């Protein structure tokens, strides 16, 4: 078991070795047991985490805030409108100032800025981390959602045991209209699951690609971890024989090409780009997880979703509310894994 985590940033699980991820899972299970037994575990007494949410959240916000309370500390629930960053204060100044006042900075910034060097998503978190003297935790950005990935892995191990080699897991695109969901959940999953020997099949229309760097790294992770990664263009092929299915929408940010010379981030805000994304989305209305698809999965299969789900669009009610659905366990595990990350990076061994 790895024990030296204090001060380490948590931006992607790819920055953590397999042994370190195992340790995070062990501590999650330990803290889950403590919680179940109603035993105090105030390991971060009087410590403060500054949570900066650029977007809405139910699971992440509440797992972090309830989690730090249970660990004996306190969270500041911050949004840009409460901070001077709304007047342009830099990530550098924000990180340096908060470093002097508390024990961790946690941030959700999903603004899609792939290839752009400014205050968007992962670039913003990386800049916070560069100047912070306390750990910076991602609460999701445009590239990664490591808190979700860790909770998903814990949930899968609870259902299938710790040896996951040979399990087929289908990560499928699904139709949704609530909003263009970030790429970060499926990207974190394709990076992480093959490291544990799982055979990952991504099913998705060609208009909804992942970032090429992520796919390359995920292939390397599969080769190093004994798992596999393949891409198919239909749900049936992905679902057939799968032990785990995760059908979920992700936005087609990269399926829309900006005109030559125009930055993608600026183009995505235009009416023309929005129209292209909508056209691409509406072509694939039939991508919904239903009973017929669940029937071709393995007889032990489970249905997962990071939530929130677009009911009737990504998934039918009878599947998400049915016996194979483990979405509520998956959501609960967000608090146990968040507590493990905080306990180890904000406290733990000096």
Distance (Å, whole) CA 310 – CA 178: 7
Under rule CB under 6 A, residue 188 binds ligand CP:
no
Least Å distance, CB 187 to ligand CP, is: 14
Under rule CB under 6 A, residue 60 binds ligand CP:
yes
**Residue from 215, 232, 296, 307 binding ligand CP (CB under 6 A):** 307
**Residue from 9, 59, 103, 339 binding ligand CP (CB under 6 A):** 59
Least Å distance, CB 148 to ligand CP, is: 5
Closer Cβ to ligand CP, 140 or 297, answer by number: 140
Count of other CB atoms within 10 angstroms of residue 348: 18
Distance (Å, whole) CA 287 – CA 279: 15
H or E stretch at 176: none
Q: Which residues contact 241 (CB under 8 A, 6 or more apart)?
A: 168, 296, 297, 298
Least Å distance, CB 100 to ligand CP, is: 28
Least Å distance, CB 339 to ligand CP, is: 15
Least Å distance, CB 325 to ligand CP, is: 15
Under rule CB under 6 A, residue 58 binds ligand CP:
yes
CB 161 within 8 A of CB 234: no
Distance (Å, whole) CA 149 – CA 155: 10
Considering only the stretches 57-65, 170-178, 198-206, 286-294, report the one whose residues sit in contact with ligand CP under the rule CB under 6 A: 57-65
Distance (Å, whole) CA 261 – CA 349: 50
Alpha helical stretches, state H, 71-199: 91-99, 121-131, 146-160, 184-192
Distance (Å, whole) CA 70 – CA 51: 16
Considering only the stretches 14-22, 36-44, 53-61, 231-239, report the one whose residues sit in contact with ligand CP under the rule CB under 6 A: 53-61
Considering only the stretches 54-62, 74-82, 188-196, 199-207, report the one whose residues sit in contact with ligand CP under the rule CB under 6 A: 54-62
Binding residue count for ligand CP, defined by CB under 6 A: 8
Under rule CB under 6 A, residue 57 binds ligand CP:
yes
DSSP state of 49: E
**Residue from 154, 218, 289, 306 binding ligand CP (CB under 6 A):** 306
Sign (positive/negative) of CA torsion 65, 71, 74, 78? negative
Token pair listed for 272: 């023309």
> Interface residues for ligand CP in 127-146 (CB under 6 A)?
140
Least Å distance, CB 306 to ligand CP, is: 4
Q: Which residues of this chain interact with ligand CP, rule CB under 6 A?
A: 57-60, 140, 148, 306-307
């Amino acid at each position: 078991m790895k024990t030296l985590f204090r001060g380490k940033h948590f931006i992607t699980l790819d920055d953590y070795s397999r042994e370190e991820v195992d340790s995070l899972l062990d501590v999650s299970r330990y803290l889950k047991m403590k919680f179940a037994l109603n035993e105090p575990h105030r390991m971060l007494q009087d410590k403060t985490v500054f949570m900066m949410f650029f977007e809405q959240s139910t699971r992440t916000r509440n797992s972090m805030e309830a989690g730090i309370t249970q660990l004996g500390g306190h969270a500041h629930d911050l949004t840009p409108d409460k901070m001077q960053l709304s007047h342009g204060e830099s990530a550098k100044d924000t990180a340096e100032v908060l470093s002097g006042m508390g024990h961790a900075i946690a941030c959700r910034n999903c603004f899609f800025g792939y290839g752009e060097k400014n205050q968007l998503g992962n670039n913003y978190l990386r800049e916070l981390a560069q100047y912070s003297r306390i750990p910076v935790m991602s609460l999701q950005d445009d590239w990664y959602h490591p808190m979700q990935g860790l909770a998903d892995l814990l949930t899968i191990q609870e259902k299938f045991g710790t040896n996951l080699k040979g399990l087929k897991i289908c990560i499928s695109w699904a139709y949704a209209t609530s909003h263009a969901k970030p790429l970060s959940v499926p990207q974190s999953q394709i990076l992480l699951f093959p490291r544990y020997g799982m055979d990952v099949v991504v099913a998705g229309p060609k208009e909804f690609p992942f970032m090429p760097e992520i796919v390359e790294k995920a292939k390397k992770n599969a080769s190093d971890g004994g798992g596999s990664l393949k891409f198919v263009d239909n749900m049936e092929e992905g679902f057939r024989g799968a032990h785990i299915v995760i059908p979920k929408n992700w936005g087609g940010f990269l399926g829309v090409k900006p005109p030559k010379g125009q930055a993608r981030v600026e183009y995505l805000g235009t009416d023309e780009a929005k129209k292209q994304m909508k056209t691409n989305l509406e072509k694939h209305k039939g991508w919904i997880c239903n009973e017929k698809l669940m029937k071709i999965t393995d007889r032990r299969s489970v249905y997962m979703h990071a939530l929130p789900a677009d009911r009737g669009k990504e998934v039918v009610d009878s599947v998400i509310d049915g016996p194979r659905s483990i979405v509520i366990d998956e959501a609960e595990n967000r608090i146990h894994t968040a507590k493990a990350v905080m306990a180890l990076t904000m406290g733990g061994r000096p």
